[in-house]
Amino acid sequence: MSATKDSAALQGQKRKREEKDVTSKKGSSDKPSVSIHKNLQLAEKPVYKNLQIAEALKTQSKTKKQRLDNSQKTEKPKFKNLQIAESQKKESQESREDKVQRGESQKHENGANRPHNPPASRQNKLLQVRQSLPIWPQAANIRNALLENHVLILAGETGSGKSTQVPQFLHTSAWCTGRIAVTQPRRVAAVSLARRVAEEMGTPLGKSPQALVGYNVRFDDNVGKNNRIKFLTEGMLLQEMLRDPALTEYSCVVVDEVHERSVNVDLLLGFLRGLVTGTSEAAKKRKGKPLKVVVMSATADTEKLKDFFSEGFGQPRAEDSIPTVDGSVQPLDDKDLPAEKSQETSVASLNKISTCFVEGRMYPVQTEYLSEPTRDFSEAALLQIFQIHRKEPMPGDILVFLTGGDVITNLQQAIEDMIPNVITKDSGLPKLLVLPLYAALSQAQQQAIFSPAPPNTRKVILATNIAETSITVPGVRFVIDSGKAKIKQFRNRLGLDSLLVKDISKSSAIQRQGRAGREAAGKCFRLYTKSNFETLEKDTVPEILRCDLSSAVLTMKARGVHDVMDFPLLTRPSREAMERALLQLLQLDALNPENGNISELGRKIARLPLTPAHGRTIIAAADPEMGCLLPVIDIVACFNSENIFLEVKDQDANDEAREARNKLSRRQGDHLTLLSAVQAYASERTDRKQWAKQHLVSHRSMQNVMDVRKQLRAQCQQAKLLTKEQLATTDDDDDLNTISESTGNNILKCFLRGFPANVARLVPDGSYRTIHGHMAVAIHPSSVLYGRKLEAILYNEFVYTNRTYARSVSAIQMNWLEEIYAAPA
């Protein structure tokens, strides 16, 4: 196929794309403003300095043999020298620990009573891979560092083996009598790492009595009682601290990918500092059992972390029961400490923190930049994918970093539309299999990216930044980086978090690049220029400085922190932001107005894996007077999944489908419309997929909604908000017609309880103004209430395009606000 044909094919695809470069919550749209295919002139436009479309044409004459030869060439590993800062000289200890480690792995690899018994050849191969990792020769040093000290700060290049190897190095250490927790920012990484480590250790994963490795992520707890290593998200470890603030189950917590600086990781570091230094009240509950903390990343600010922990060691301990161990692998000297602290910090503090740097990545990654900036990264990505497919040898899957679910769905469609034009019988090109990866997908959908592609097929994974850290997707040799991500930002004027599409930081770009070159040499195509790269911020601004802090403050309060202003944080948010969060929690009745302590209701909210606003909504619905918990759970499940309604496109929406979809609409607004869709789907007993198709509803999203609904029901049962009997009387065959007007109103009142600030009222000029900030807002065109004039509206989120839209909107009455505030909490 010629480039001109390519161009024609691209332009021939009709993509309808709407606005939405900025949205206000998960699952909302983020399409770039320019059409994917608009003005795509492939023949004229050299995209990369070293990579022009003309070259792509040449590759068509390449024989399969050439492809094979090339692929074999790329398989040769190259290692750089390894270094560990101030490497330890404890040879005798090293060999002893090594023996333990080897003995243990032998035992696991050859264990007789283990049902999971991978072939010895596979085990040997895995061991060889492990031994070739840059971190492998440092095993003894790392173990020694923690034998002596409480904290290890470990920096090492992407792919050097931190996440998979460090827990395996440590679990045989004498001090490690409890479990090792390894935290990850995202569940996809926690699950895939657990799977990999279990395989490397030659044991089953999860609950089996032989399993040494498990994982725990939101809505999926796969931990067995004999697990020694547990991968979990930061959120789940914080959740565990609700019942066990001292983390007594663990001997070691490994905080991975700390550079991401999510609010959760910052909170976790604060709690861990209290435990490891013995300065928090909770530390007393460890009764002298030591806790070791490892903080890891490829791009962590080691100095800042060192200072943070040193400061904690310098403070008085809550009780002198935490044993101290003398000696240090790499003692800090005064110049390592913040100037003002160096005098007061005790000697002990100098002996408890080790640092380690592992240099060397597994395979080289060649990076290419655009020669000129692109205005549409989706368009550039589409072009790049097909260039790689023509030019680059197999095997070589492609991982593309984009901004969000909608952009991914559109690009997936665009690729699939292009395939028949490009991958013809004559082209001799392998097939393409496109797989999406973003947070709102179910776990099964997310894990699908790890399955090998069928023969003669190249996988193209379209991902958000959830694939940015920790994961190794087998087969990936090429990364395409849009240079953008959706980043949470608090909007003062609205009093709301928004997700904005922004440039990533250099450290994110490095992480993305690091996803290639993990099993063989790779390439990273950055869809921006070299000079753009140079202007990127070094690190992403910590989330704690950018987001609504109500969840964070509730997390602290629920774990016994009385004075949140005093809580140790790596980066301190403004006092104003903290106060705003406290106020919001007071409004939700989560705090006691007399003393600011957490209320009973606050504790219940904190136990739910939801934002305080959604948690409050659920609690309100469980009140017998409201009696609408099950329908509210259904709606909350929708808000915690991707959009269930497919975009209605002219060409594929026949009258019948439109009519079917319209039947799901409810005049009260989008909340009850979502509910009617969930209930109708749930009551479909024969063919849900077909039902979804007939109603222009996404079957995939609905499956996810059902999954979240099930989990939320279980959690409400655990929290005693829902009884077994109530659940037993639920009949999915009931459709919304059986929900009375008053129940409908109650449902909306519950949402109003959780979102009292998300209200706008009609003003005399016919527009809507928010009651908070008096800002003009319009009902989004996707709403069933679009164009309607109502007394007041309640909305779930904001969307910014050329104007400010409220999305997921329902009609409410202003007097409901008074009614709600008059009622006792």
Ligand X SMILES: Nc1ncnc2c1ncn2[C@@H]1O[C@H](COP(=O)(O)OP(=O)(O)OP(=O)(O)O)[C@@H](O)[C@H]1O
Residues of the shown chain interacting with ligand X in the complex, contacts defined by CB under 6 A: 133, 156, 158-165, 192, 196, 298, 362, 469-470, 472, 474, 514, 518-519
The residue (of 459 and 666) whose beta carbon lies closer to ligand X is: 459
* Least distance from ligand X to the Cβ atom of residue 352, Å: 24
DSSP3 helix / strand / coil % (the chain, rounded to 5)? 45, 15, 40
Q: How many alpha carbons lie under 13 Å from residue 421 in its C-beta half-sphere?
A: 18
417 Cβ contact partners less than 8 Å away, ≥ 6 residues apart: 13
769 Cβ contact partners less than 8 Å away, ≥ 6 residues apart: 760, 761, 763, 775, 776, 777
CA distance 101 to 200: 13
Residue 427 region by backbone torsions, left for phi larger than 0, else alpha for psi between -120 and 50, else beta? alpha
The residue (of 260 and 406) whose beta carbon lies closer to ligand X is: 260
The residue (of 252 and 637) whose beta carbon lies closer to ligand X is: 252
* Least distance from ligand X to the Cβ atom of residue 49, Å: 27
The residue (of 300 and 635) whose beta carbon lies closer to ligand X is: 300
The residue (of 172 and 469) whose beta carbon lies closer to ligand X is: 469
Q: Are strands 792-800 and 804-812 parallel, antiparallel or unpaired?
A: antiparallel
* Least distance from ligand X to the Cβ atom of residue 814, Å: 51
Q: Are strands 213-217 and 229-233 parallel, antiparallel or unpaired?
A: parallel
* Least distance from ligand X to the Cβ atom of residue 361, Å: 8
Q: Where are the beta strands (DSSP E) in 271-409?
A: 292-297, 353-358, 365-369, 397-401
The residue (of 138 and 165) whose beta carbon lies closer to ligand X is: 165
Residue 22, strand partner residues = 500, 800
CA distance 39 to 296: 45
The residue (of 362 and 790) whose beta carbon lies closer to ligand X is: 362
* Least distance from ligand X to the Cβ atom of residue 519, Å: 5
* Least distance from ligand X to the Cβ atom of residue 77, Å: 9
> What phi and psi, each to the nearest 5 degrees, are found at residue 467?
-95, 10
What Å distances lie between residue 600 and 606, 618, 637, CA to CA? 10, 15, 24
* Least distance from ligand X to the Cβ atom of residue 162, Å: 4
- For tokens 């189950």, the residue is 249
> What phi and psi, each to the nearest 5 degrees, are found at residue 334?
-55, -35
The residue (of 24 and 446) whose beta carbon lies closer to ligand X is: 446
272 by DSSP, 3-state: which?
helix
* Least distance from ligand X to the Cβ atom of residue 429, Å: 26
Residue 16, strand partner residues = none
The separation between CA 159 and the C-alpha centre of its own chain, rounded to angstroms, equals 19
* Least distance from ligand X to the Cβ atom of residue 469, Å: 6
The residue (of 269 and 812) whose beta carbon lies closer to ligand X is: 269
- Per the CB < 8 A criterion, the answer to whether 371 and 48 are in contact is yes
Cα–Cα–Cα angle for 303, 305, 309, rounded to 5 degrees: 120
The residue (of 314 and 475) whose beta carbon lies closer to ligand X is: 475
- Per the CB < 8 A criterion, the answer to whether 805 and 780 are in contact is yes
* Least distance from ligand X to the Cβ atom of residue 397, Å: 12
Centre a 10 Å sphere on the Cβ of residue 420 and count the other Cβ atoms it contains.
9
The residue (of 160 and 611) whose beta carbon lies closer to ligand X is: 160
What is the helix (H) or strand (E) element at residue 251, kind and residue range?
strand 250-255
CA distance 254 to 244: 17
CA distance 122 to 151: 35
Burial 703-733 (b: 16+ CB within 10 A, else e): bbbbbbbebbbebbeebebbeeebeeeeeee
* Least distance from ligand X to the Cβ atom of residue 272, Å: 19
* Least distance from ligand X to the Cβ atom of residue 164, Å: 3
- Per the CB < 8 A criterion, the answer to whether 305 and 258 are in contact is yes
The residue (of 212 and 283) whose beta carbon lies closer to ligand X is: 212
The residue (of 118 and 474) whose beta carbon lies closer to ligand X is: 474
- For tokens 């004027």, the residue is 493
Tokens of 611: 């934002």
Number of H helices and E strands in the chain, helices first, is 29, 22
* Least distance from ligand X to the Cβ atom of residue 110, Å: 22
- For tokens 């368009």, the residue is 379
Helices 670-683/629-639 angle, 10° precision: 100
> Which candidate, 287, 362, 353, places its Cα nearest to that of 314?
353
* Least distance from ligand X to the Cβ atom of residue 189, Å: 8
The residue (of 138 and 349) whose beta carbon lies closer to ligand X is: 138
* Least distance from ligand X to the Cβ atom of residue 281, Å: 34
> What phi and psi, each to the nearest 5 degrees, are found at residue 795?
-130, 160
The residue (of 293 and 799) whose beta carbon lies closer to ligand X is: 293
The residue (of 245 and 360) whose beta carbon lies closer to ligand X is: 360
* Least distance from ligand X to the Cβ atom of residue 197, Å: 9
- For tokens 């690091």, the residue is 514
